[in-house]
Amino acid sequence: MVGVELFFALAQGVYFWVVYFWPVTLVLAALWVLWAAAAARHVLGAGQWRVLALGCLAPFAFPLVILICGTLFAAPPSGQGSPARLLVGQTLVVILLLAQLPLAAVSAKRFGERWPVVATSWICGGYLSLMAGAVSWMAVTGDWL
């Protein structure tokens, strides 16, 4: 599998993990919706869209970028991949996972009183990123469960 097919196969792997851990997924999704509704009640006009776009939707870009890294640096089917390619792929996945922690803190601080919905969005995005990181790690190393 190459390119788009591999990306969708990895995304399907993330979907299966999210469904497998459905209690955690359900609790996080419910918290996200409740906090978003509470934050939207206090914000009117353009400020609401800024919170939604920058604070709530930005964390969900990380799982996509991690899956793209897993696709670009996937081990060849023969298993004879370059050690440098393996190292770069693993390093990118780890950096993208760890970069979310300081970004979440800065985002929550930046949005002031709406920090609960922003923090919950980063937690939900981080949850998906952990799943994407695990699937991408398996694709990069070629070692599947």
Helix (H), strand (E) at residue 81: none
**Tokens representing 7?**
């990306």
Confidence bin at 68 (pLDDT 50/70/90): very high
**Tokens representing 26?**
């359900």
The residue type at 66: I
Distance separating alpha carbons of residues 31 and 96, to the nearest angstrom:
24
pLDDT per residue as tens digits for the range 103-139:
888 888 887 777 777 888 888 889 999 999 999 999 8
Q: Over 90: is that where the pLDDT of 46 sits?
A: no
Let me know: does 44 contact 50? Beta carbons within 8 Å. no
**Confidence (pLDDT) at 145:** 72
CA 141 to chain centre: 19
Supply the pTM of this predicted model. 0.84
Torsions phi, psi for 76 (to 5 deg): -65, 155
